[in-house]
Structure 1
Amino acid sequence: MSLAEGKSEVFEIPDFTDQAVVRDKLQTTVWPNELEQDYGWTLGAPTWAVKPLVQSWETFDWSRPQQEMKRWHHYRMNVDGLLVHYVHEPSTQEKAIPIILLHGWPSTFFEFHKLIEPLRDGTEQPFHVVVPSLPGFGFSEAPKVKGYGVAKMAGMINRLMLHLGYHKYMYHGGDWGAIIGKYIAIHHNDHCKAFHTTMPLVLPPFPTPRNLLVYPWKVVKFFTSLVVGFDRVYGSGKTVLGGATFANAERNGDCGYRAIQGTKPYTLAFGLSDSPVALLSWMLEKHHDWTYHPKDRQDTEGLPRTITDEEFLTQVTIYWMTNTMSSSIRLYYECLQQKEMMKVVLPRIQIPVAVCAFAHDISRMPKDWLETSTDLQQFSEMESGGHFPGLEEPELLLNDLQRFGKKIRQKQILA
């Protein structure tokens, strides 16, 4: 590698030169044997939902999203010996503050394509916008050795911001972006000064000395909820612990993918790397299950109507053309094998926190829990949206980010 640590090079969004090969593979797909009765999505992504998107991918015009991406400045920086891709869009406004937006899985930096320019150009609160691709995801180089788990990637993302000259910054993330972000908020809070997330990971109000002294009533409410149920104490749907079980499918029927990716990612990767339909369907399941659908369309539609086929296929294409689905799922293996989740969940966040809870995200936690485990300064509950709000409800997420950014700027937290 010719670049020294912290040095960047301009990155050009490549053409989709493999499209003819993909089209041939799509047209010769061997479709799976399924049951005669339609069971919706209970067994995973059904053929009736996958086929229309496969047909759309056959005629997909990569040049359209490619041209949109070319509006932004792309670079790759040597961080810890890997070339990390990122978008960097500094604002021209004086009151702008640095913000980093970090995606998760199965997503890419393109999840934020509706937010980059509005955040950069916002009148109430503009930002210097940095949107990286996680190592091993999309246009970022994949790790070649073990060890690149949450702690390692958190250090790399923090160093990326420091190398860009942002020694104090605000952070936003969901999914892995939230997990890595909490680690940064705890262990790199000399630089990360404010944490905004859509997927908080905190402990309930256990009877610790601090909670008994400061939040005794919240401790009582929590233990009451264990007896009568979370919904009766905190409100219906306010407590959703979909991410609480990392790899135990007996306790959580939706975590089978985590169990495979966290234990045997190599074997799964053969299908995801060789078959574009396998890749598409693996991603589609999550973009269906983790997003908001009206009840009368939950079982009868694939993507929610808030995510277009082109947006979804753009992310699928990025994974396919870079062959990074296999490297992206290894993050689950690293996190599980290194037992990192407890290292993330246990500590209290000392810096200002904002939580934006969307209606159909995989995890939601009561405000009580957030107040005892973080310095919660902003809490918003949305009636729509899900796990990919940058795609589903960009205006709601944009307004929440700007409101929090303005608040921390006025308090001179980033000064």
Structure 2
Amino acid sequence: MRVTRVETFLVPPRWLFVHVSTDEGVSGWGEATLEGRSHTAQAAVHDLADLLVGRDPLRIEDHWQVLSKSGFYRGGPVLSSAVAGLDQALWDIAGKTYGVPVHQLLGGPVRDRVRVYSWIGGDDPAEVADSAAEQRAAGFTAVKLNAAGRTSPLDTTAAVDRTLARAAAVRDAMGPDGDFALDFHGRFTTPMARRIVPELEPLRPLFIEEPVLPEHSPHRLRDVVEATTIPVATGERLYSRTDFLPVLQAGIAVAQPDVAHAGGISECRRIAALAETFDVLLAPHCPLGPIALAACLQVDFAAPNVLIQEQSLGIHYNTGADLLDHLVDPSVFAFTDGWCARPTGPGLGVQIDEAAVRRAAGTGHRWRGPVWRHPDGSFAEW
């Protein structure tokens, strides 16, 4: 079997799908979505395609090494996302070739179901409480929300109180047997994070995510970790085991690699194993499309240290499209009481509606994150 073609599809609302075909009719799907830079990642996928066409797709590890390292300049979000999409597609081909789900090729399942959480949006405490209650009623036992909107380097007491009020409202809505996580989104400086995090402790969040920017890790991340008993999570903007090692050493509790950014299934499984040696749990980042989620689930069912899985059903980013679009059978993502059952289909466990993908790619997208500014006109972290 040989790879004959690599195609990419920019699919609304902000996804980048990768399709790898072979001369034996077996094909695989991957997702290389790089939010706000998917056109750049698309170019990188096609730049790497020459290294795959004409070669045996089942030599996945060898391909990963060549795709990641043969260009001399390595790593970073663009290259790692391109490698991720191709890697997922190769694993999909392998699973379909052998007639088993990918997690079977990674050593077999270690669990029968995995817990999932939903995103909720909003700024007003009553609004987020209503959204959390809706998710609770839908069966989800965990939600995540942004800790704050635009945040000044050292914000006011009122800003701190707004964050605390939102968190308290969601805690009340979820109840003592439910969970919520707060995504700081890198919007807080280290002193601002250290100011607010201890005040959140009585509300017992499941974790706080990305309290400082990745470029401030690990030297300032450790300061936040040591300032609180709340578990600290990070990793969506880290792309390799090398990137994760310093934050693991800094004492994080939850690692959040993104299978569409961090080198695909191959590297995320290795990141999970590295995290396990630090007694750190895995909560893969995935506010993306159905292929990325399917790939995450294959890691989830093979890695013993998985805590919970993010998913984008109903997320506010998905305007005009939905996680279940482009699936022949969306029941694979039928979440029951906040859990997702182990997929048993071959490869990534989902069947993509290729005709629907091609139609959607005819529209394409040019998704960009907003540009925020502080009251003085300077750039603010989104």
TM-score, structure 2 length as denominator?
0.30
Higher helix share: 1
Give the TM-score normalised by structure 1: 0.28
Structure ID, larger Rg:
1
